Chains A and B, each alone.
Chain A
Amino acid sequence: MVKDQEFLKSKASYCLDLAKEMGATDASVTVGHSVSETVNFRNKSLEASDRSDGLALSIETYLGKRRSSISSSNLLDENIKTLIEKCFETTKITPEDEFNSLPDKNLLAKQISNLNLYDETRFENDKKIKYLKDLEESASTDNQIINTESSFTENKSNFILANSDGFCDGYKTSSFAASCVTVAKDENSMERDYEFSSKRHLSDIKQAIDLGNKAAKQTIRKLSPKKIGSQKISIIFDKRISKGMLSAFASAISASAIARGTSFLKDKIDQQVFANSINVIDKPDIIKGMGSQNFDSEGVNSNTLQLIENGILKNYLVDTYNGKKLNLKSNGRSGGTTNLYFEKGNISYKDLIKKNSRSLYITETIGHGSNLVTGDYSVGATGFLVEDGEFKYPVNEITIAGNFKDMFKNIILANDLEFEYSVNSPTMMIEGMTVAGK
């Protein structure tokens, strides 16, 4: 079982006391414990089981404006003592940095609301096996499916964050995740696709049969792909890709990228960066939300932030250190966004895909082709050619390219937003991007 609050608190206060004793002017510590069990299936039989049980400790010590940190998985008191000594020795010779400090006391979270992030249900391995059997049965009904791999992971975690200003809090979270990868083959090609479901509560996980069916269906439709010619074409991003666009945006507005001057969105506050119709929100207090939190990784209270309002950039994601550099208060985003989403658009999915007589529907991208300094974007892609709202044939071995600055201003969103993950987007269309193919 996952360690309780009392155990973690006692370790945390042991660390803080020791750091103070050695002469640290400030200190902060995070202690966490996480237990996971995974069962893997392949072609309808058990392939692997995996149990992990891990403690983790990280400590920052301050001497005035000097700071350094250590982390360890070994929580024996003797080891902790050696590490804190080492940490504090390092702190002494690390140069001062005027922006180093614990978060402002008055920004720290005062009360913890119950966001229902923990489900204590135990889903025994035998039950995981039953779930995966059903899943793979449903994924294998078509004889073009030649391989199925699936897994079910159950995780329970607990943590305490404490600092020498008296903050000391934490809470348990749980997650359950099922995934299925299928491979299909025909005389021309072999293709892979997947489907997964990840939730805080067991009862919210998708039905095994639905997950298997969907993975298989998504794989089979990719068989016998064609390569298309290089051209300008309107591109429709499936939800699982459009949410990646939001993640790139979030990285570009982190206070760290802004303070370092390495973001194409630097100095763009109160300016138009998206199309007029676009609103982007980061909401930390969604009940059972995959990205929900009561406070950020420094203990700072996090409230809902409107990042983009009618296309205009309203906020960066600010932590204490970079906030001080930029003369901004932390908005509780040390560690990044929480539950990030585009507000839904006005057009239905159906109308979006037939908006142009010809468009390319992208279901997967590969490569690390986002340059957040320049905004240049170029990735490998797989998808479907769509004509008059109908999927004509699968397409692969192409790339799509553009620049985020132009792409963001040309986004059209469908009205099919759902809250499945910690980052969520409706289906998205961007006109005027370049496809490179034959």
Chain B
Amino acid sequence: MSNFFNKSDLTRQDADKIVSETLNNCDDGELYLEESKSESILLDDNKIKSSNYSSDLGFGFRAISNDVVAYSYSNEISKDSLKNSSENLKSTLKSIKGTYNHEIPKSNKKFYKDINPIEQKTLDSKLEVLNKVNDFLRKKDGSVKQVTASFAGEQKSIEIIRSGGEALTDVRPLIRFNVSVMLEKNGRKETGVYGIGGRQSYDDYLKNDNWKNVCEEAFRIASVNLESKPAPAGEMKVVLGPGWPAILIHEAIGHGLEGDFNRKKTSAFHDLMGEKVASEGVTIVDDGTIDNRRGSLTIDDEGTPTERTVLIENGILKNFMQDRHNARLMNTRSTGSGRRENYRHVVLPRMRNTMMLSGNQTQDEMIKSVDKGIFAVSFGGGQVDITSGKFVFNCTEAYEINNGKIGFPIKGATLIGDGPSILKEVSMVGNDMMLDPGIGTCGKAGQGVPVGVAQPSILIDKMTVGGTKL
């Protein structure tokens, strides 16, 4: 746990006093203190290309009255600096008065351990794994022309001080291990990428030579793509594999169910609460409470314990994801979804681990039912236009389906759909729900936060596939 008050002339008493005095006439707000330590080690082109260590320390001070948010941050934790921020907040909110809401739910549950993953594995042994990855892949096959492997580790300690002196703390470990391989055969080049991670130590993920499985998977994806043919273009049936393809759910539905867009009525979902937005059998939750997952949080960045929020239950829209600010303005409660990239950024309602739950059909049944369509197994990334509801994602491993059988692999293509209607096109939900391997980062308003996704195999009756073959 970081002690933020032994670093300068600012004592906890000073901080409490300045916070309480600043937020006295406001509806909400807090002082957010953060210290993070992070490392990244990269092997590329047969060499350790970079090893970087970074430490960051700072505070973000927020005051809210009515619907106006004033924010000020600095990476100098001192009495002067906090006072300056306080003056800045007061000057923005000078004409708006509020009543501070002291209530914040409590929980003793923790979803990860207070560890610093960087210190739990020596640099030497990290370098050793990276070199093994390089040798393993280059020896594996003559078509391997490039190997990139990396470790990224972080420990973030936060403390939230609310008006009246209440303090909430959390220590968050996070790691990621990634392998990318490029193959070249008959003049064609293709890349395969795979990674794993979460909120445990490196060795929890690397035990039993698990790095080999990561290599094999990256190699397998690249090999499949070497044989790929141009993707079809047009509307057709799409079978999605389990796990990571749930970024479809994240893009198509998730962002549109974040509180801010609905309060502002700019989301295509804002007037659909209680209505049928998905086929029967489709249930989607956003869960911050799964042990050690990349998107899990013990408390969110406003201090609210996270929870498992049901967004869509059996096709019906049940809840939006809320931070305190949007919840207050919409007369509801925070779902523990208030997150920020770091102290430089304001809190926004964000996703944690977004999951579609299992149904009772099999992937086999889905594929057999398709005359002409595609089977998408892995994706690169996605994006959504919240207002029009249109979203895309890019296939990194996909196959043609012809007459109920899986055919040739197809080249990376973008799939596009309409968020509010896509889940009504889901005609089968598989019994094989799987979590993603722990690699997702979600971007919103210039802020990246770690997230998770999960889903079973699903069959979508109609989606537009953005290939080149007419």
Contacts and interface: CB of A to CB of B under 8 A. Distances in A.
A93 B388 contact: no
B140 to A, nearest CB: 18
A25 interface: no
B344 A54 contact: yes
Which of B57, B69, B266, B380 neighbours the largest number of chain A CB atoms within 10 Å of its CB? Answer: B266
B388 A368 contact: no
Given A70-B55, A90-B53, A397-B417, 15 more contacts: A55-B76, A97-B47, A189-B388, A261-B184, A262-B146, A262-B182, A366-B383, A366-B384, A369-B466, A376-B412, A379-B466, A382-B385, A399-B414, A399-B465, A436-B467
Contacts of A379: 392, 414, 466
B385 A434 contact: no
B72 interface: yes
Given A55-B76, A71-B54, A373-B190, A398 B464 contact: yes
B224 to A, nearest CB: 14
Nearest to B48: A95
A20 interface: no
Contacts of B49: 97
Contact of B470 (A69, A230, A262, A376): A230
A321 B124 CA distance: 24
Nearest to B393: A367
Contact of B68 (A48, A87, A146): A48
Interface string A366-384: 1111010110101110100
Given A52-B73, A382-B390, A402 B468 contact: yes
Interface in A49-65: 49-55
A83 interface: yes
A147 interface: yes
A47 B260 CA distance: 12
Interface in B179-210: 182, 184, 188-191
Contact of B123 (A69, A72, A90): A90
Given A190-B268, A261-B146, A380 B416 contact: yes
Q: Which 6 A-B pairs have the closest CB atoms?
A: A399-B466, A380-B392, A436-B233, A192-B387, A367-B392, A73-B75
Interface of A: 42, 46-55, 67-74, 76, 79, 83, 86-87, 90, 93-95, 97, 125, 146-147, 149, 183, 189-192, 225, 227, 230-232, 259-262, 264, 364, 366-369, 371, 373-374, 376, 378-380, 382, 396-403, 434-438
B73 A434 contact: no
Nearest to B93: A49
Contact of B88 (A46, A51, A191): A51
A398 B415 CA distance: 9
Nearest to A56: B75
A38 B447 CA distance: 16
A261 B383 contact: no
Nearest to B81: A53
Which of B384, B415, B466, B470 neighbours the largest number of chain A CB atoms within 10 Å of its CB? Answer: B466
B290 interface: no
A189 B418 CA distance: 12
14 contacts: A42-B67, A47-B68, A69-B50, A79-B55, A93-B124, A146-B265, A260-B45, A264-B189, A378-B412, A398-B464, A398-B466, A401-B466, A436-B465, A436-B467
B71 A367 contact: no
Interface residues of B, number: 80
A87 B72 CA distance: 31
Nearest to A264: B189
Nearest to B69: A48
Nearest to B131: A95
A90 B346 CA distance: 34
A121 to B, nearest CB: 20
A183 B57 contact: no
B3 to A, nearest CB: 14
A125 B70 CA distance: 12
Interface of B: 7, 44-45, 47-58, 67-76, 81, 85, 88, 91-92, 123-124, 127, 145-146, 182, 184, 188-191, 231, 233-235, 264-266, 268, 344, 346, 380-388, 390-394, 411-418, 464-470
B325 to A, nearest CB: 10
B388 A367 contact: no
Nearest to A46: B68
Contacts of B392: 366-367, 369, 379-380, 399
B467 A401 contact: yes
Nearest to A364: B385
B67 A51 contact: no
Given A52-B344, A93-B127, A94-B51, A368 B383 contact: yes
Contacts of B71: 48-51
A378 B58 CA distance: 41
Nearest to A437: B464
Nearest to B58: A73
Interface of A is mostly: strand
Contact of A97 (B48, B81, B127, B386): B48
A83 B385 CA distance: 42
Contacts of B387: 183, 190-192
Nearest to B188: A374
Contacts of A371: 191, 412
Contacts of A189: 388
Given A55-B75, A438-B234, A73 B57 contact: yes
B346 A368 contact: no
A410 to B, nearest CB: 14
Contacts of B416: 367, 380, 397-399, 436
Nearest to B416: A380
Given A70-B53, A73-B75, A90-B51, A378 B413 contact: yes
A382 B388 CA distance: 10
Contacts of B470: 230-232, 434
Nearest to B43: A95
B262 to A, nearest CB: 12
Given A83-B53, A373-B182, A260 B265 contact: no
A95 B46 CA distance: 11
Given A367-B394, A437-B464, A72 B56 contact: yes
B53 A86 contact: yes
Contacts of A367: 381-383, 392-394, 414, 416
A74 B411 CA distance: 46
B76 to A, nearest CB: 7
A77 to B, nearest CB: 13
B56 A74 contact: yes
Which of A95, A149, A366, A396 neighbours the largest number of chain B CB atoms within 10 Å of its CB? Answer: A366
A47 B50 contact: no
Contacts of B54: 70-72
A374 to B, nearest CB: 6
A373 B233 CA distance: 22
B70 A49 contact: yes
Nearest to A126: B91
Contacts of B81: 53
A396 B390 contact: yes
Given A95-B48, A97-B48, A397 B464 contact: yes
Contacts of A225: 388
Contacts of A403: 468
Contacts of B191: 262, 371, 373
A72 B37 CA distance: 9
B74 A147 contact: no
A368 B418 CA distance: 18
Contact of A396 (B44, B57, B388, B412): B388
A40 to B, nearest CB: 8
A1 B346 CA distance: 22
Contacts of A47: 67-69
A438 B236 CA distance: 9
